[in-house]
């Protein structure tokens, strides 16, 4: 392990940034001083029936003016909204009366929980910064049909908006809190009544509570967004440092703060291999426990963990020689996941995630490895964030039993923080004995910082080391001999500095990962490199041809190996357009250089060693996704490793009713190379049917010609009471390597029923 000059520079930059006195706290205090509302305690709980009873709601605190963010920043909202707030010791109540008198009327077709489409239509979004720390929050969204979407936000959603399908790890969409909604559509608008139990969120121990809070109304028909506490156009509602204040909450009661969720599963699997079919019936039971050690600290336990309800991965086609990133979808690993995160700032061109929970209980091919149990402690103690997790897996599918331990600590100052991470992976059996009489382990150590000296300027970075024992590793001269080490380790560092305001987005970043840097419980597409990137983007608002925002940008990535030899670079030029009607148009040109140091193959076509220069052109258009019918198109002709590649995509979606929607997509790559030609098709059809806001069916059928397989998956979910569910999941994989288009012989089938029952204390 050694410190290179570049690592010393990165450490120095992080150390200096930690002593910068941030002024963003003064800005946040000023915003919250201007937007305050007093919580009103009620002795009579509102009945959630979609009717705002005047004798109850009329006594609540009232918000009756929202300020536009889009399209005219600072103007009053074009439609009236009244929001009433009440609370008792156990529940926060929010009543919404939203008028809609425009030609578009109320736009609402989505009833399913956690659907992205809820965000495109008419909705109300509420974010609660319950620790008043200007960093984190709980977000609750509902629409005129009573659909629900909830998520946890960490570090203000840093890495923020979804980019080309890559979402920030600091926004946990898959968190499911227990809360209640009743909504109703009226002739001139809509009504929603919301109840959020205090036990659903965590907050400080103080008897007198003040929370950060903001509320946004989205008007899907006219593509207008308006806030209670105004937020400038470069940010979203996750920017909790710009939220207002909910004051006067007193004597809140979380009860015993104990939630026990036993579950049972039953079903069967059928597997075919070498024309031999094997059937296996299964039944199992397990237990999840959640206990509040304090108002801010939570302990989670899981025994015989099962993820039958988790959705399957979306198919991806990998025409590179580096690993693709698949998001986590298992609920135990998703809650408070942002507290474990250290990684690169941008979800697009992701350089590293030092802890990636998909390494636990899943093989490289996505097969499940049994998880015997786990424990997780997360939360806040004053200005300190603490996160500790230990998970034990069983021996299966050719893998040893493994123990994973992760510990993360952060100290917060306003929007800035400094922290440390430790990750340990050890081959160990269920009784605590080292497997195979060896002490194999892989460890990652890291310190990180996120410094915000100005509301528009952020510095993010980490310094990390890994240690691996008992692994055969290549020498510094790749492709020659190997050596057997008792252990080896490497260093990694990363820093990003970004300026973001309504007109400009400018950032620069640098990453250095040594040859022996190996965070096995993380995501690292490539080590042995030094990469630098700069990005300049302007966002003018021309106000012609229906264009709301233009986004011309240019960025450059330059990558070398550890000796300084150039191995890749890319110029990226793009013009993005966002229209008043919610549509998007993007045009770009990429100029690539790639040095291939070892032969690799794509669909059995070998890409030989050599230097390659190629251009990529792309144009894409997406209509407003809130419309009842929407579509998207993309065409990308390009040069490709001495040959040519034509990538094309199409998408068509329809909301056939407020219960039934569907979307079909297709991607094709026609590749012509000196070593051979091939085509790759990726197609999918999704169908969603919501029987009610608490009962829905989702199915997805996918075809991937790259791996010659056809898969189908369907999930039924019935939330028969808050926190208690019945799931029925069916998955099928068919594959015929000889002729995938003629007959698909099934390889795997699975039908699982899972029932959970929440018991609270």
C-alpha 633/C-alpha 613 separation (Å) is 27
Contacts of 446 (CB under 8 A, 6+ apart): 342, 354, 420, 421, 422, 462, 463, 464, 465
CA separation for the pair 495, 346 (Å, rounded): 11
What is the average per-residue pLDDT within 329-348? 78
The mean pLDDT value for 111-122 works out to 86
Residue 255 lies in a domain: no
| CB-CB contact of 612 with 596 (8 Å) | yes
Q: What is the pLDDT of residue 486?
A: 53
CA nearest 267: which of 277, 255, 253, 279? 279
Query: When comparing pLDDT for 252 and 317, which is higher?
Result: 252
pLDDT exceeds 90 at position 397: no
**Number of Cα atoms under 13 Å in the Cβ half of residue 751:** 5
User: What mean pLDDT do residues 428-453 have?
Assistant: 73
Q: CA-CA distances (angstroms) from residue 329 to 174, 343, 623?
A: 7, 19, 28
Report the distance separating Cα 586 and Cα 575, nearest Å.
6
Q: Which residues of 420-430 are buried (b: 16+ CB within 10 A; e: fewer)?
A: ebebbbbbbbe
Q: Would residue 685 count as lying in a domain? A: no
Whether 210 maps to a domain, the answer reads yes
| The pLDDT of residue 450 is above 70 | yes
pLDDT, tens digit, 9 for 90 and up, residues 79-96: 999 999 999 999 999 999
The model's pLDDT over 574-612, given as tens digits with 9 standing for 90+, comes to: 999 999 888 999 999 999 999 999 998 888 889 999 999
The proportion of the chain whose per-residue pLDDT surpasses 90, expressed as a percent, equals: 47
pLDDT at 429 over 60: no
d(CA 324, CA 315): 11
Give the separation between CA 727 and CA 730, rounded to whole angstroms: 10
Sign of CA dihedral 23, 228, 237, 140: positive
Where residue 351 falls (left for φ over 0; alpha for ψ -120 to 50; beta otherwise) is alpha
Q: What is the pLDDT of residue 23?
A: 45
pLDDT at 30: 52
Confidence check: pLDDT of 50 > 90? no
Q: Is the peptide bond before 71 cis (omega within 30 degrees of 0)?
A: yes
**Position of tokens 């080490």?**
485
Phi, psi of 127 (to 5 degrees): -125, 135
CA atoms within 13 A on the CB side of 639: 12
The answer to the question of residue 728 being in a domain is no
The answer to whether position 283 is within a domain reads no
339-359 average pLDDT score? 84
Mean pLDDT in residue range 446-468: 92
Distance set, CA 162 to CA 116, 170, 654, 657 (Å): 11, 11, 22, 27
84 contact partners, CB below 8 Å, separation of at least 6: 52, 57, 58, 60, 61, 62, 63, 94, 95
Query: Domain count of the chain?
Result: 1
Inside any domain, residue 55: yes
Residues in the chain: 761
Tens-digit pLDDT profile for residues 55-84: 889 888 899 999 999 999 999 999 999 999
Q: What is the mean pLDDT of the chain?
A: 84
Mean of pLDDT values over 709-722? 89
**pLDDT confidence of residue 171:** 81
Residue 401 vs residues 330, 364, 675: alpha-carbon distances, Å: 20, 16, 42
pLDDT in tens, 522-531: 989 889 999 9
In this prediction, residue 31 carries a pLDDT of 53
Segment 484-528, tens digit of pLDDT: 445 678 999 999 999 998 889 999 999 999 999 999 999 898 899
**Diameter of the chain measured on Cα atoms:** 82
pLDDT of residue 5: 44
| Residue found by looking up tokens 């959020």 in the block | 196
Please, which residues bridge with residue 126 across strands?
Answer: 140, 215
**DSSP-derived 3-state class of residue 157:** helix
Please list, in sequence order, all residues whose beta carbon lies within 8 angstroms of the beta carbon of residue 297, skipping any fewer than 6 positions away.
Answer: 202, 377, 378, 379, 380, 381, 386
pLDDT at 308 over 60: yes
CATH of the domain at 225: 2.60.40.1190
Structural domain of 167: 35-250
Question: How confident is the model over 678-697, as pLDDT tens digits?
Answer: 999 999 999 999 888 889 99
**Six-digit token string for 306:** 């099962």
Rounded to 10 degrees, the C-alpha dihedral 287/288/293/294 comes to -150
pLDDT 10s digits, 743-757: 567 778 889 999 999
User: Rounded CA gap, 150 and 114, in Å?
Assistant: 7
Task: Give the position of tokens 């049917």.
Answer: 689
Across residues 647-664, what is the average pLDDT?
91
> Could you report the per-residue pLDDT of 153-206, keeping only the tens digit for each?
888 876 544 444 445 567 877 788 889 999 999 999 999 999 999 988 888 888
pLDDT at 477: 43
For residues 475 and 488, give the distance between their C-alpha atoms in angstroms, rounded to a whole number. Answer: 11
> Could you tell me the two tokens for 161?
């908006």
Inform me whether the pLDDT recorded for 11 exceeds 50: no
HSE, CB side, 13 Å, CA atoms: give it for residue 469: 9
C-alpha dist (Å) from residue 641 to 570, 573, 612, 615, 619 = 14, 21, 6, 10, 21
């Amino acid at each position: 392990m050694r410190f290179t000059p570049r690592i010393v520079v990165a450490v120095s930059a992080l150390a200096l940034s930690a002593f910068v006195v941030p002024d963003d706290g003064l800005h946040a205090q000023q915003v919250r001083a201007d937007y305050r509302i007093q919580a009103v305690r009620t002795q009579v709980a509102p009945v959630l029936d979609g009717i705002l009873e005047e004798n109850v709601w009329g006594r609540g605190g009232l918000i009756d003016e929202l300020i536009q963010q889009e399209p005219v920043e600072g103007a009053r909202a074009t439609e009236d909204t009244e929001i009433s707030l009440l609370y008792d010791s156990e529940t926060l109540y929010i009543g919404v009366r939203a008028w809609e008198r425009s030609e578009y009327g109320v736009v609402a077709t989505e009833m399913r929980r956690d659907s992205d489409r809820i965000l495109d239509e008419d909705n109300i979004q509420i974010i609660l910064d319950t620790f008043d720390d200007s960093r984190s929050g709980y977000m609750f969204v509902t629409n005129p049909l009573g659909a629900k979407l909830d998520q946890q936000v960490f570090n203000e959603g840093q890495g923020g908006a979804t980019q080309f399908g890559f979402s920030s790890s600091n926004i946990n969409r898959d968190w499911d809190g227990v809360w209640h909604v009743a909504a109703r559509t009226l002739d001139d608008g809509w009504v929603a009544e919301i109840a959020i139990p205090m036990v659903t969120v965590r907050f400080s121990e103080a008897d007198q509570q003040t929370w950060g809070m903001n509320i946004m109304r989205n008007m899907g028909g006219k593509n207008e967004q308006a806030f209670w506490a105004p937020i400038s156009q470069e940010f979203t509602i996750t920017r909790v440092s710009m939220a207002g204040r909910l004051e006067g909450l007193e004597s809140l009661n979380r009860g015993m703060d104990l939630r026990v969720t036993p579950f049972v599963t039953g079903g069967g699997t059928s597997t075919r291999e070498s024309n031999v079919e094997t059937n296996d019936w299964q039944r199992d039971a397990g237990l999840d426990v959640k206990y509040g050690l304090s108002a801010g600290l939570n302990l989670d336990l899981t025994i015989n963990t099962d993820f039958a309800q988790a959705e399957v991965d979306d198919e991806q086609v990998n025409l590179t020689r580096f690993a693709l990133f698949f998001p986590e979808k298992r609920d135990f690993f998703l809650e408070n996941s942002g507290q474990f995160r250290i990684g690169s700032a941008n979800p697009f061109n992701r350089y590293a995630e030092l802890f990636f929970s998909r390494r636990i209980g899943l093989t490289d091919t996505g097969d499940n490895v049994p998880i015997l149990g786990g424990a997780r402690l997360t939360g806040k103690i004053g200005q300190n964030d603490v996160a500790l997790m230990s998970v034990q897996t069983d021996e299966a599918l050719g893998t040893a039993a493994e123990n994973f331990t992760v510990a993360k600590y952060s100290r917060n100052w306003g929007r800035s923080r400094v922290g440390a991470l430790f990750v340990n992976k050890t081959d160990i059996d269920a009784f605590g004995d080292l497997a195979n009489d060896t002490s194999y382990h892989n460890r990652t150590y890291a310190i990180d910082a996120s410094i915000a000296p100005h509301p528009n300027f952020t510095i993010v970075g980490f310094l990390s080391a890994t240690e691996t024992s008992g692994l055969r590793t290549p020498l510094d001269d790749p492709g020659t001999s190997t050596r057997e080490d008792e252990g080896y380790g490497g260093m990694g560092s990363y820093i990003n500095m970004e300026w973001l305001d309504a007109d400009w987005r400018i950032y620069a970043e640098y990453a250095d990962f040594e040859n022996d840097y190996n965070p096995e419980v993380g995501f690292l597409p490539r080590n042995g490199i030094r990469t630098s990137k700069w990005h300049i983007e302007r966002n003018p608002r021309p106000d012609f041809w229906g264009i709301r925002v233009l986004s011309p940008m240019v960025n450059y990535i330059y990558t070398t190996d550890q000796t300084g030899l150039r191995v890749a670079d890319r110029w990226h030029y793009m013009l993005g357009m966002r229209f008043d009607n919610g549509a998007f148009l993007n045009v770009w040109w990429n100029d690539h250089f790639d040095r291939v140091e070892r032969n690799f193959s794509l669909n059995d076509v070998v890409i030989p060693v050599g230097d390659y220069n190629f251009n990529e052109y792309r144009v894409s258009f997406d209509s407003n996704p809130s419309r009842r019918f929407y579509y998207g198109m993309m065409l990308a002709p390009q040069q490709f490793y001495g040959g040519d590649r034509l990538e094309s995509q199409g998408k068509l979606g329809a909301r056939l009713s407020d219960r039934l929607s569907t979307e079909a997509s297709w991607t094709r790559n026609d590749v012509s190379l000196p070593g051979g030609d091939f085509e790759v098709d990726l197609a999918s059809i999704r169908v969603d049917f919501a029987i009610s806001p608490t009962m829905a069916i989702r199915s997805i059928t996918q075809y991937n010609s790259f791996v010659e397989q056809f898969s189908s998956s369907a999930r039924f979910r019935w939330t028969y009471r808050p926190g208690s569910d019945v799931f029925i999941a069916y998955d099928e994989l068919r594959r015929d390597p000889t002729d995938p288009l003629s007959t698909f012989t099934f390889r795997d089938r699975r039908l699982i029923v899972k029932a959970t029952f929440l018991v609270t204390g």
